[in-house]
Structure 1
Amino acid sequence: METTQIMETIRMIEEEKLDIRTITMGISLLDCIDSDGARARQKIYDKITRLAAHLVETGEAIENEYGIPIIHKRLSVTPMSLIAGASADTNFTAFAKTLDAAAKETGVNFIGGFSALVQKGYTSGDARLIQSIPEALATTELVCSSVNIGSTRTGINMDAVREMGVIVKKTAELTAENQGLGCAKLVIFANAVEDNPFMAGAFHGVGEADSVIHVGVSGPGVVKRALEKVKGQPFDVVADTIKKIAFKITRMGQLVGHEASNRLGVPFGIVDLSLAPTPAVGDSVARILEEMGLEAAGAHGTTAALALLNDAVKKGGVMACSHVGGLSGAFIPVSEDAGMIEAVEKGALNLQKLEAMTAVCSVGLDMIAIPGDTPAETISAIIADEAAIGVINNKTTAVRVIPAPGTKVGDAVEFGGLLGHAPVMAVSQESSAAFIARGGRIPSPIHSFKN
């Protein structure tokens, strides 16, 4: 590398919060299936601890050698409904505790995959896993859960949507002492992807290798700093600037991924290009939107600005790496983004505007605190709306909301760390109960038939 490039990378790390957000090892547990739950759990623990034994120390060694911060080391596993479903267990909390124990033994930050894929219907294992989610998340520390309730190919499973509203409420109630923190580890998807390295929605798809290394990059601060240099320039220049910086960020992610892959003897999977913000000053997607000329996130023009950002990040990233995947784009979690928090607190950003923004961003309604007395049917309706955006637009969307017990609009919920704090946002007071009670399936859109 030229001296100028080295200095630029050092500056991006030290001044602009550039980091590798996560190295995530995906592990297939299909060979751990057993009709005896206890035997299956032992196989699961043994395989995870064997394959991931050196993941954390490898990540730390790469950090030290290259000077690149790697914030999290994580694991994702085959959706547990497929594994535990073969057993006679009626409650899968014991499987979640096994995942938690294995994660703690390996020293990772999180493990994802306490998951079910029910976009078209339930298996017995799916039904048992979903009912186990509240207790599982309340009794574990590192386990993350996800449920895919819709896809462009199948439509939306409204029975699952109805149930997930109830599950979110129960999870909040069982973790009330932590302001409903369990809900921060639960994501409801449409069009979930099999190679997502980010939590809480990561799981290891059945089409993946036995084990694989994925990398999730970050860098909102780097993008904002680059845009400061083209203040007032046309949007063509803005897009080109973002593409160039996304190329550099992705190159760094690919370097780290290949190094981890080689050292661990595990195939390299993908680089996820997502701009993942944190509550730290200078590490905000909202500040990028403001740098484009908006007074605050939520102002008219926000959706257009976010669309440009998301597209330019992907265009720059795919030129830098042959294997781009995951979600890739820009995340807009409220509690994890200082600019988003400020926009909500000043009244510039509401739930309706966030929903519009999700039509063009990487995921969806993310890390949003809502009043604790919000009905389960309202939560289900929020999930249905978000799933519809994903299904119709053939993109991944998701909902991660926290009905924080005992809170009302205007309160704030403090989670700490990367999860930050969230102002409690208003939801519609009009009832969706009769709509959600219908159940059944919303059919797939006409453009789903592509064969």
Structure 2
Amino acid sequence: MEKQKIIDTIQMISEEKLDIRTITMGISLLDCITGDTRATAERVYDKIMKKAAHLVQVADDIETEYGVPIVNKRISITPVALLAGADPHPDFRLIARRLDDAAKALGVDFIGGYSATVQSGSTPADELLMRSIPEALSMTDRVCGSVNIGSTKAGLNMDAVRTMGQVIKDLSATGATNAMKLVVFCNAVEDNPFMAGAFWGVSEGDTAINTGVSGPGVVQRALAQVPHADFAQVCETIKQTAFKVSRMGQFVGKVAAERLHVPFNIVDLSLAPTPAPGDSVAEILETMGLGSVGAPGTTAALALLNDAVKKGGIMAAERVGGLSGAFIPVSEDGRMIEAAAAGQITVEKLEAMTAVCSVGLDMVAIPGSTPASSISGMIADEAAIGMINAKTTAVRLIAVPDSKVGDTVEFGGIFGRAPVMAVNPASSAQFIARGGHIPAPIHSFKN
């Protein structure tokens, strides 16, 4: 039995592109607050350098010893907006620079947490951070940011939605690759190890390890072995596969945590695709019987997949968290790219799919001429889906400068390429200009 498990794991890694997508160390920076942003930035740098000094080496050692690919090594931190302290004029760009310095010195791929959580309202520090995002993310290479503008409990902060529409447009104008480092959330989770939206919430401990596991190819190959199965058997096949993948994620995470002398926190079992052949969530849906992702039935197939992945994963790991389920980033999924370029999937169909997947409109390229108010409208639509359904939704849009529908923007590596997709040309300006707050739904009241 143990021999067969080893054989199965080797096959999943070598033939089906199973990997640990990320080992992410969460680090609380609340004890770095001084009241002076410049001094805080230095303390932030020092703590990250101390806590994560051996993160990359440990991950590399585990990869070599066990033959398990570990694609990214990352750090998530306390939302930077909370680090203003008593500084009356905080310059968060100072912290952004030192975060980037630390990431480069340590050799980690990304550091997430240039963030604010403003679902109930914005402090002056939150406002400053949001407006600083275009400059901060364009002048750094490895810093990622996020803003949580709504929740099921609090409703939607439409003033922040309006601000973030302009922020995305301004950030995109500095370069498409800069815009992919920013996510706008509703119901953001505090233990998410995936970028660009990772941050280390205030309810988390001082330091811990989270792992993010991915295996679209493993699930697709398993389903291909049961081409005539009914949906009950399809669900069971996905659950059993997700169980195997999650066990590997927990094993690697626990080994890393033990060697780094920090607690192990959660496994995030997210089917995160890449542009490589055989590593596609869209291909899983097509293996279920869809002629193309985007065809009628796509949302139902994705709902089945997302639920079965979570059911299998939660039985395999002590703690499953993050955004576990299935991701549908357009640029990072080879079949999704092809379907979007062929017009088989649209922004509107993607929005419908986000009601049942793990995230939202992810890595979607739109024309640079798209008004900021329309971008805000897209954020509001996604946030409303999350708020009403008590789930995490997110927007990672790239308003590609000087582009038109049908053009392609190249990101490179696991970030792939994205066809520029059409946005409904009708105006959202008057709606977004109202400002204020959309109240939480009636079912949010649980006290």
Would the TM-score normalized by the shorter structure come out above 0.5? Answer: yes
> Matched residue of 1:273: which SS?
strand
- Write the deviation string for residues 164-209 of structure 1: whole angstroms up to 9, x where unpaired: 000001101122xxxx221100000000000000000000000001
**Alignment-derived partner of residue 199 in structure 1:** 195
> Matched residue of 1:444: which SS?
coil
**Alignment-derived partner of residue 323 in structure 2:** 327
The answer (yes or no) to whether the contact 1:85–1:126 under 8 Å persists in 2 is no
Of 388, 403, 408, the residue aligned with 2:404 is 408
Question: What's the CA shift for 1:105?
Answer: 1.1
Question: What's the CA shift for 1:61?
Answer: 0.5
Runs of 4+, deviation exceeding 2 Å: 84-91
- Write the deviation string for residues 210-247 of structure 1: whole angstroms up to 9, x where unpaired: 00100000000000000001002101000000000000
**For 1:90 and 1:60, how far apart are their aligned partners in 2?**
37
**For 1:439 and 1:11, how far apart are their aligned partners in 2?**
54
The answer (yes or no) to whether the contact 1:85–1:125 under 8 Å persists in 2 is no
Kindly indicate whether residue 14 of structure 2 is the aligned counterpart of residue 18 of structure 1. no
**Alignment-derived partner of residue 258 in structure 2:** 262
**For 1:76 and 1:7, how far apart are their aligned partners in 2?**
34
- Write the deviation string for residues 261-291 of structure 1: whole angstroms up to 9, x where unpaired: 1000010010001100001100000000000
Superposed, 1:37-436 pairs within 5 Å as 37-175=37-175, 180-436=176-432
Q: How many pairs are equivalent?
A: 447
> Matched residue of 1:347: which SS?
coil
Partner amino acid, structure 2, of 1:366: D
> Matched residue of 1:20: which SS?
strand
The answer (yes or no) to whether the contact 2:99–2:143 under 8 Å persists in 1 is yes
Partner amino acid, structure 2, of 1:317: G
**For 1:370 and 1:93, how far apart are their aligned partners in 2?**
28
The answer (yes or no) to whether the contact 1:148–1:190 under 8 Å persists in 2 is yes
Question: What's the CA shift for 1:91?
Answer: 3.2
Question: What's the CA shift for 1:73?
Answer: 0.4
> Matched residue of 1:360: which SS?
coil
**For 2:88 and 2:97, how far apart are their aligned partners in 1?**
17
Residues 280/86 of structure 1: CA separation in 2 closer, same or farther (3 Å cut): farther
TM-score (norm: length of structure 1) = 0.98
The answer (yes or no) to whether the contact 2:34–2:85 under 8 Å persists in 1 is no
Gaps of 5+ in 2: none
> Matched residue of 1:8: which SS?
helix
> Matched residue of 2:235: which SS?
helix
Partner amino acid, structure 2, of 1:193: V
**For 2:83 and 2:421, how far apart are their aligned partners in 1?**
37
- Write the deviation string for residues 32-69 of structure 1: whole angstroms up to 9, x where unpaired: 00111221111100000000000000000000111000
Partner amino acid, structure 2, of 1:394: A
Question: What's the CA shift for 1:107?
Answer: 0.8
**For 1:41 and 1:90, how far apart are their aligned partners in 2?**
11
- Write the deviation string for residues 309-359 of structure 1: whole angstroms up to 9, x where unpaired: 000000000100120000100000000000100111111100000000000
**For 2:84 and 2:420, how far apart are their aligned partners in 1?**
36
RMSD: 0.8
**For 1:86 and 1:223, how far apart are their aligned partners in 2?**
50
Question: What's the CA shift for 1:85?
Answer: 4.9
**For 2:87 and 2:228, how far apart are their aligned partners in 1?**
62
**For 1:127 and 1:433, how far apart are their aligned partners in 2?**
21
Residues 336/366 of structure 1: CA separation in 2 closer, same or farther (3 Å cut): same
Partner amino acid, structure 2, of 1:126: D
Question: What's the CA shift for 1:90?
Answer: 4.3
